[in-house]
Amino acid sequence: MLDEKTLIENIDGQLFEINIIEPENHKQASYSHYIYNHKNGVSQFFKKDALNFVKDILSENSEKKISTELAEEALQYLIFNNKNSIPFPAKENPDFKFIDLFAGIGGFRLALQNLGGKCVFTSEWDKYSKKTYRANFGEIPFGDITKPETKNYIPNNFDVLCAGFPCQAFSIAGRRGGFEDTRGTLFFDVAEIIKKKQPKAIFLENVKGLRNHDKGKTLSTILNVLRDDLGYYVPEPQIINAKEFGVPQNRERIFIVGFHKDTGINDFEYPKPTNKETVLQDVLEQNEVSVKYYLSTTYVDTLRKHKARHESKGNGFGYEIIPNNGTANAVVCGGMGRERNLVLDDRLTNFKPVTNISGEVNREGIRKMTPREWARLQGFPDNFKIVVSDAQAYKQFGNSVAVPAIQATAKKIIEKLKYK
């Protein structure tokens, strides 16, 4: 039988070693949210399941029945001994509270924490993104936000709702398009949370194509819901390009900002470009990168043939080698995403021909960018942990937000709310 101290240390160890529990089981997420929110008045939303999680782990290591009192004592011990060893802890006495929906790996969270905010609820259903999120922020996101039981964990009285929700077409039944017309889409769940929780401000992000999606009907319906059905002041959405905020990536996204009518806010200006010029060279690895990122001669030849064939037909398909003094294309996780930002790098000094099904490594030094370089293109600092495979890392950074652009806009929001 392990003594109590060892047993409790095992609880904390198992939290970071066991596989993520399926989204329908919220105990693990509740535990991590409770540990990091016990001082800010929202712990009541997580305590019941946090206790049950601790009881479950204690029961696995004991033949005796674990009482609620013992679980409570263990939970308090864990809080007291929480070392905050995560790379990105929140401010001890935050200036405002926010929630992070469709969180991915925490781009929104990183930006708003940098401004003095505290995230009090987060949701994300991809298990690999959850792993990255946990490694960097300590918390395990809740799962499927479309489920009522998940929404029940969202605390009251937070200030800003953040959501990079997926773009979906609406079935517009009426002439105008309103709240009911968005049912069955993920925006409906965002709107439902706004309606119930009434945050002071909202900050939504989406792909640039939202503006023209379904001939403009999708964006029009979103604005109708936010303005007319929910009563928020929502200025005209703006296309923000990441390259204008200090990262060498041509990434345009639409930002939608709104303020609750009770704030009295009826004007808002999106941030002006910082004019901080950066180029690809600023994000490239300083040391020689692994041979695995260099393309094979066979593959390079195939890319060239594809590009020539498509260009002859007037199409823009093909790879692209970005010059060191240039700006990268938007990083995306699908299709030819990685081939759109190739690098010409002649630092491969330990070159050894690799003969395999795809041919040997090319001698020209053409390679893919590394996951860390993609992280830098999105404005993630170098101490942001990458704890998944390369394939998952590319997907995660490709799906994430450009942190500096999010932070610049969030700063304007917080200034309007008079927290700064």
Q: Which residues are catalytic?
A: 167
Distance of CA 11 to CAs 8, 77, 411, Å?
A: 5, 11, 38
Residue 266 to residues 152, 184, 225: CA-CA distances in angstroms?
A: 31, 31, 17
Nearest CA to 221 out of 167, 266, 262 is that of 167
- Longest distance between any two alpha carbons in the chain, whole Å: 75
d(CA 219, CA 233): 15
CA 51 – CA 126 distance, rounded (Å): 25
Nearest-CA neighbor of 34 among 18, 19, 55, 48?
48
What residues have CB less than 8 Å from 132, skipping those under 6 apart?
105, 106, 385, 386, 387, 388, 396
H or E stretch covering 119: strand 117-122
Residue 98 DSSP symbol: E
